[in-house]
Structure 1
């Protein structure tokens, strides 16, 4: 099966696994596929609004976008050929929504090695795998 419309879900604070996922997705998509790179920012309750600087949301979004564009360039992927976005909310919900919105046939997730606590409590990758209507590939950076 050839995948051609791929959601790549990354955490911009986990460069190794994020870049590994992006590289793997680009290899799968080849020259004809479409990549949709997404980073989901943590939901901030409105009660925190008085505690953060006025332009925090825009600054956080801009930094995430710049990081993802840098990763593309570093991997030899033209950032203009990738649909890059950030969302704010629950990772599982936003990634699955993006997959539906873009008509994706594969979700690629960069994920760290699970710890005991994440095995007990669940992780974003696990939730996406369990609820996704399309194939999901979980990519981890090599340990070497």
Structure 2
């Protein structure tokens, strides 16, 4: 089944699961599917962001966008089919917001095996599954 608009949420610090999510999205894409790849960067309180300076924020965003473009190409997603975005905030809030903003029909997210703490406190993937207005595909990468 091909979906019309897919959000692929990736963490650039978790290459294995990011690539697994991209591969899964590519597998369900049709020729007319639009993919929105999203990396949610850590939220920094204003007092910290002012200390670190604008240059750090620009470099961090540029690095994330470059990695996402590389992974999309390696994952077989066609140039022009994929849009890239980074946001700051809580992962679940930004992913759900992006899905609503672009009219997504599917969200794809990579996820670790649940740890004891994530079972108690919840994980980003779990929160997205529970709050998403559309279907969510949670992908676990196999260690190679």
In structure 2, the partner of 1:59 is 59
The number of aligned residues is 144
SS in 2 for 1:32: strand
What are the residue-to-residue correspondences of 1:70-89 with 2, within 5 Å? 70-89=70-89
Q: When the two structures are superposed, what TM-score results if normalisation uses the length of structure 2? A: 0.93
Q: When the two structures are superposed, what TM-score results if normalisation uses the length of structure 1? A: 0.93
CA RMSD of aligned residues (A): 1.4
Deviation at 1:49, TM superposition (A): 2.8
In structure 2, the partner of 1:141 is 141
What are the residue-to-residue correspondences of 1:1-144 with 2, within 5 Å? 2-144=2-144
Deviation at 1:115, TM superposition (A): 0.9
1:79/1:14 Cα in 2 relative to 1: closer, same or farther (>3 Å)?
Answer: farther
Deviation larger for 73-82 or 19-28: 73-82
CA distance in 1, matches of 2:119, 2:125: 11
SS in 1 for 2:119: helix
SS in 1 for 2:73: helix
- Report which of the two has the higher share of strand: 2
Deviation at 1:143, TM superposition (A): 2.8
CA distance in 1, matches of 2:129, 2:51: 35
